[in-house]
Amino acid sequence: MKGRIEFLDVLRGVAALAVFASHLLYPIAINPQFSDGLGAFVRMISVDYFNWGRFGVVLFFLLSGFVIPQSFKGTRPVSTFLVGRFFRLYPAYWLSIIWTVAILFLVFSQSFPGLQLLANLTMIQKFLGFQDVNGVYWSLAIEIVFYALCIALCLAGALEKPLFGFLLFAIFMFATILPIAVNWKIGTRLPIQFFTHHLSFLFLGGLIRDGIYLRKSSGAMKLAWVGVGLALIGLPFACGLTGSIPAAQIAAGQEYAFIAGYVVAISVFVAGVIFKFSANSFWSWAGAISYSVYIFHFGALKLAEWIFPLHGVASVMAYLLAATSVTLVVAAAVYRYVELPFMDLGRHVRRRVDLMPLSSG
């Protein structure tokens, strides 16, 4: 597609398919009927040694950090950015809520309070005190906070200054790691918030863009590599090797799988930026539909698992085929008939907003 950066499409496709694969295989990995043989193999490749879900989400965060600061353009950068993000994200997101709620009601007879559904329409429901109706939505709230911080940096004239991005990266990373280190060292019980750790990866993506991709200056390049180094050094703390992470955050015995997911995500992203992977038709397509794959696959998996209960190898194969087919077909349809038209509308509205005369008062 004209105007798209090929290696970003490759990385988007990889990230979306990694998250999908993680959730696709999880029911098999934890099914007691497959404790040996198939189940042990699936658990080994998807849970014990490498966390595909964390790899994919962190790769998405790095990608957003790379792309979003470049979206502030024109005479009204904040207004056009907000318009563009709204039309890019919310129509498909709202449709995914309907899809998820309908399937959960069909499969589990599960319903949701009206206030929870209304809160989920905002994409920041966790901050409003409501649970996500779809488990993958948690990362979208972090993206929204990043957008708000980018708007603040834009208004302050600091969005394109790598030093400010580095300072925010460091602040958010250490806001997570320092309490963990202190708890481990002196036995305190300081609260640990992984929200800030994930937010740091968004700013790391921007540092890598400025210093390694654009090479704005030698200073920007140094900040990027220092940021990559600090992110890697902090992972043993953030992934629970100190033994101070609550079990609800990182399951016991999976610390190395989480670290591997983070390390490979950072490495793949840096490699993609340096070597600029070429996208063939499949990866261009996978990158294009990656957002819909991410927000629609949860419902598709639940539907497939309901239709094909996991009782044997044949049912596993049917489940894998059905879940993959439904996810890709639905994602492709949503991209074609929802995402693309609303992105076009967003571009039209952005042009109108950008042409509005600036107030002289």
Averages of pLDDT over each 10 residues, the chain, 361 residues: 78 97 93 82 89 96 97 94 97 98 95 97 96 96 97 96 97 93 85 90 98 96 98 90 63 82 97 92 95 98 95 93 98 98 96 77 45
pLDDT value of residue 48: 87
Identity of the amino acid at 343: M
Cβ–Cβ < 8 Å for 126, 132: yes
Helices 255-275 and 6-30 cross at an angle (nearest 10°) of 160
Tell me which residue has tokens 């496709």.
13
Cβ–Cβ < 8 Å for 203, 230: no
pLDDT value of residue 195: 92
| 240 alpha-carbon distance from chain centroid | 21
pLDDT value of residue 227: 98
The radius of gyration of the chain from alpha carbons, rounded to an integer in Å, stands at 21
Cβ–Cβ < 8 Å for 143, 203: no
Closest CA to 342 of 18, 152, 4, 88: 88
pLDDT value of residue 244: 62
Euclidean distance between CA atoms 145 and 151, whole angstroms: 10
pLDDT value of residue 361: 45
Read off the tokens for 208: 């890598």
Domain residues of the chain, as ranges? 6-72+159-280
Cβ–Cβ < 8 Å for 1, 288: yes
pLDDT value of residue 189: 83
In Å, what is the CA distance from 275 to each residue of 63, 267, 269, 271?
A: 15, 12, 10, 6
Report pTM.
Answer: 0.95
Closest CA to 327 of 59, 17, 11, 14: 17
Cβ–Cβ < 8 Å for 124, 141: yes
Read off the tokens for 284: 């261009």
